[in-house]
Each structure stands twice: as C-alpha cells, then as structure tokens.
Chain A
Amino acid sequence: MKKNWPLWEVFVRSKNGLEHRHFGSLHAADTEMAIQNARDVYTRRNEGVSIWVVESKHISASNPEESGELFEPAKDKVYRHPTFYNLPDEVKHM
C-alpha cells in the first residue's frame, strides 16, 4: 500500500498588522510537517512572522464559469460608491 503525502495550501503573514496571504502549496504528511516545510520553502528570507496551513481538499472555490452570476451584479451598482452622489462644491469635508 502506498499513500502519497497530501497537498497543503500555505498562508503567510509577512508582519503583524497585515493579513495572511496565500503563498503557495506543498506536500506534507501532517500539520506539523506542513508548517515546518512551509517555513523552509516560503520563509527563508524573513518573509513571515506567522504561517497558516490547510489541506487543499478543505478549500472550496467558486467556479470561473459562474463568475458572471457571482460578480457581475456588483458592476451596475454604482450607487454603492461615493462618487455617485452629487454635492455642491461648497460642501467641505465630505
């Protein structure tokens, strides 16, 4: 019986105050090894202060073929932006 090490996604916080960002992926047998490998592969030059790993199979992604339904409705809602509203020039600080 041969089982391959599963795939993990790696998220790194580059410094406190910033969010964790997706850095890439790697293979590891378990969580502990995934974090250690992530350290070696993605933070060899002080790129991070914190690492998250999650097995790739636990991530659900939206389907690019449904991008239209998902994201297009936001395009015509200009009233969600401040520039939609007309104010006289004399109004300050708004």
Chain B
Amino acid sequence: MSEEQIKNLEAEFEARIARDEKIEPKDWMPEKYRKTHIRQISQHAHSEIVGMLPEGNWITRAPSLRRKVALLAKVQDEAGHGLYLYSACETLGISREELYEQLHTGKAKYSSIFNYPTVTWADIGAIGWLVDGAAIINQVPLCNTSFGPYARAMVRVCKEESFHQRQGFEIMIKLAEGSPEQKEMAQDALNRWWWPSLMMFGPTDAESVHTEQSMKWKLKRKTNDELRQQFIDQTVPQAELIGLTVPDPDLKWNEEKGGYDFGAIDWDEFWQVVKGHGPCNKERMNARVGAWERGAWVREAAMTYAEKQENRKVSKAV
C-alpha cells in the first residue's frame, strides 16, 4: 500500500470511531491502534490475574463461612475477568502463550496496587472497597470504548464488580462497629491502602503521556486527575459514615469546586513500585510463574489425552 492510501484508510478509520462505530478484529486498523490495544488490554488482563494473589492469601483464613464463599466467588470472578480480557486481546493476533510470556518475563506490566501485602483480614475489606472501587471508576467508561471485543468484555466485568465493592465495604462496616481492636484494624487497613488506591488512576495529567490519543480512541473519556477526584469525592463520605478517618491531613471540602482538596501524592513511591521495587513484586511473580510451571504437566497430559481420544475415534471410523 502506498503512503497516500494508508493516510486515507487512517482518516476513514478515525472518522468511524468519531461516529461511535465499533472496530471489530478483522477490520483494517492502524498498526499503532493494534499495538496500543494489545498493550492496554493485556495489562488489564494481567492485573486481574495477579490481583487474585493478595486476596487468595486470605481465603482459607476468612473469619466465617459467609465471608469465605463471598471471597472465593470474588476471586473466581477476577479469574473470569482475566479470561474475558485475554480472549479479547487474542483477537488482535497475539497468542495466549505470548501474553503469558510477556507477563512472566516482566516485559508486560500489571497494576502496581497488587504489589502491596495483605497482612490482616481488614485488608480484604479495604481492597474490595477501595481497589475494586477505583477499578470500577476506571472501567465503566471502557464499556463504550471503540474496540468491540474490549467493550463487550468490559460490560461483563462491570456488571460483576459491584458485588466486589459491596462485599469489601461490608467487611469494613462490621470491623468498624466491632471491638476497639477490630476498628483499629480497619483504620490501619485504610491507612495503608488509601494512597496506593489514589495512585491507581495513574500519573497526574501534567505527567501523563498518550492521553490525547487515548481520548480519540475512547480508551479514556476522562483524565487521570478527573477520575481520581471522582473517587475521592465519593469515597470520603463512605469512610465518614462508618467512623473511619482518611489518612490525609490536607483533605478538605472545597465548596467552590464542589469537591475535596487533598494532599500531595508520593509519586516517588509510585514509580519505585512500577519499576519493580514494591513490597511484593518478586513474591507475586514467583507465585504466578511457579503456578504456571507446576501446572505444565497437567496441561500436557490433558492435550495428550485429547489427542488419544481423537485418534481412537478416527481409527474406529476406519
């Protein structure tokens, strides 16, 4: 194709998205669109999968059967989310094998929030409430993104997320109205998860690259700072309602802007964790790669069994 022809195709492509038409896997698309989507969708899938690890840590130690079935169902949902997203990503011409490879070698990133430890039961409450809460704010706009398979996966994901947040908040309510030790545990979890949750929306708008392109392709509808503000404004009253204190001395309602002013985020910490120096980066990858390697014989055995069955059918037919 000549450069001229590609330019025309690109213009027509951008116009389709601007008209709110969806792009489907077999449609022509600019190479940059394909690459950006593979990167974003796979990163998202990896986050769902790695996100199971910190919560899985508490399944066997959940304080009651009710909490245990809920947590188990929540973690199973996250596995499902990972699978919807990997499938959507594979429609762009990359194999599951390659995607796992990128995760396992550290070439692909996942959300940094999962590199923090879950040291008490209250952390499970805080994750559902804050981490899934932040994820919902990030994900809802993606239900209308331009790439069809991604948008469809996100519709399913968003439907399932609201139970995640509610089960987390219910844990926090119970702890907050419990003994002084239980309330202290809830407060401690909020103290540790608050700032990393704010970082989930990514760098400030001034620092953020690609925003304009992402807006055009509807990978983003609002900026990082707008989404962060939305999260703070909706979460602070929830904390107050259950008698917990958001760990930010600078947090103050600003009547004029109709939102909270808040303190400075420690971006050095953010970049340290992104670069692999968070409290659990190594532990997470070891757990993930270990599970994959220990499961290899099962995958191979299943394939061998399937082939044997298939051959038996064929030889019977002959």
Contacts and interface: CB of A to CB of B under 8 A. Distances in A.
Contact of B77 (A24, A44, A61, A65): A44
A92 to B, nearest CB: 40
A5 B299 contact: yes
A4 B95 contact: yes
A33 B24 CA distance: 28
A44 B90 CA distance: 23
Contacts of B309: 30
A49 interface: no
Interface in A25-66: 25-27, 29-30, 33, 40-41, 44-45, 61, 63-65
Contacts, number: 49
A24 B306 CA distance: 22
How many B residues are at the interface, by size bracket?
20 to 34
A80 interface: no
Contacts of A7: 90
A5 B80 contact: no
Interface of A: 2-5, 7, 24-27, 29-30, 33, 40-41, 44-45, 61, 63-65
Contacts of B310: 30
B87 interface: yes
B interface majority secondary structure: helix
A61 B26 contact: yes
A3 B303 contact: yes
A37 B27 CA distance: 29
A12 B131 CA distance: 31
Contacts of A41: 80, 83-84
B302 interface: yes
A28 to B, nearest CB: 8
Given A30-B309, A64-B24, A64-B28, A24 B302 contact: no
A30 B310 CA distance: 9
B72 to A, nearest CB: 12
A30 B80 CA distance: 20
Contacts of B160: 45
Contacts of A63: 26
Q: Specify which of B77, B96, B302, B306 lies most central, judged by the most chain A CB atoms within 10 Å of its CB.
A: B306
A3 B310 CA distance: 15
A29 B27 contact: no
B83 A5 contact: no
Contacts of B96: 4, 27
Interface string B160-176: 10000000000000000
